[in-house]
């Protein structure tokens, strides 16, 4: 396995000001460090407001770190060219509902500057893979939550990314949708690609993740394998996490 680093966080902090005129700030992320390696499924765990989504936003250049350094695919954050090699699936999509699934994927493909022939075959392949080919020309306002999630997965995979970031990806998915997601993640790992997974669904974490980082109140309180987290498998994962969350 090629163990080159695809994402690295070093002593990363992020502060938010409490109001426009206030001099006080809230530290959402506090000196967090970890790396995601090529061919690895890395889990980012923690209770609500632990700083998980803030870390992802900084990785995707949606906000800047207040201190520390982040590299993306071996390059600093200011190199925006690396963003085209990352796929991102959010739990709540804001896709224009008047578009069809096929129109949406074509639009994102054009923004990603994919060649026309590549885009044409890729759109049809992904629509079929996520089970939406028969509804590809229906407007999204006719889609269920689960169908929109499937479309979000297709959009995240459009550029065949080297790093796929999944933020609560199973929200709204049925059993077949969750199985599809696991197959996608496993297939990416087998091809030497990486996945950064944020999830509260512990069964998915146990099945998929090679290593995890656990956050609490913006700080990293654990980094390692699931066996290490559960003390060589002697305790349930839920119990181990609960102890870290409440420590």
DSSP assignment of 117-165 equals HHHHHHHHHHHHHTT-GGGTTSBGGG--HHHHHHHHHHHHHTT--SEEE
Domains along the sequence of the chain with CATH? 5-246 (3.40.50.300)
By DSSP bridging, strand 163-167 and strand 25-37 are: unpaired
In tens, the pLDDT along 56-82 reads 999 999 999 999 999 999 999 999 889
In tens, the pLDDT along 79-101 reads 988 998 999 998 888 899 999 99
Two structure tokens written together for 114? 């994919």
User: If pLDDT is split at 50, 70 and 90, which confidence band does 165 have?
Assistant: very high
- Using alpha carbons only, how large is the chain's radius of gyration in Å? 19
User: If pLDDT is split at 50, 70 and 90, which confidence band does 112 have?
Assistant: confident
In tens, the pLDDT along 173-202 reads 899 999 999 999 999 999 999 999 999 889
Which pLDDT score, from 0 to 100, does residue 232 have? Answer: 58
Residue range 125-136: mean pLDDT, rounded: 96
| pTM of model > 0.95 | no
């Amino acid at each position: 396995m090629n163990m080159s680093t695809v994402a690295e966080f070093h002593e990363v902090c992020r502060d938010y000001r409490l109001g426009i005129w206030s001099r006080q700030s809230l530290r959402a992320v506090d000196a967090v460090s970890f790396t995601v390696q090529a061919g690895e499924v890395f889990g980012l765990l923690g209770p609500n407001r632990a700083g998980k989504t803030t870390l992802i936003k900084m990785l995707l250049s949606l906000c800047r770190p207040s201190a520390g350094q982040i590299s993306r695919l071996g390059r600093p954050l200011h190199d925006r060219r690396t963003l085209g090699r990352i796929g991102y699936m959010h739990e709540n999509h804001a896709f224009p509902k008047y578009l069809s699934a096929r129109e949406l994927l074509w639009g994102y493909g054009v923004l990603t500057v994919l060649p026309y022939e590549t885009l044409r075959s890729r759109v049809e392949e992904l629509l079929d893979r996520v089970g939406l080919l028969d509804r590809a020309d229906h407007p999204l306002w006719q889609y269920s939550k689960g169908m929109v999630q499937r479309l979000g997965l297709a959009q995240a995979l459009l550029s065949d990314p080297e790093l796929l970031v999944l933020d609560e990806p199973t929200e709204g998915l049925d059993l077949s949708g969750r199985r599809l997601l696991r197959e996608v993640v496993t297939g990416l790992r087998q091809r030497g690609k990486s996945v950064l997974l944020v999830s509260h669904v512990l069964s998915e974490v146990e099945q998929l993740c090679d290593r995890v980082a656990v956050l609490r109140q913006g700080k990293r309180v654990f980094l390692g394998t699931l066996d290490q987290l559960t003390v060589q498998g002697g305790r349930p994962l839920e119990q181990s996490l609960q102890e870290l969350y409440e420590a």
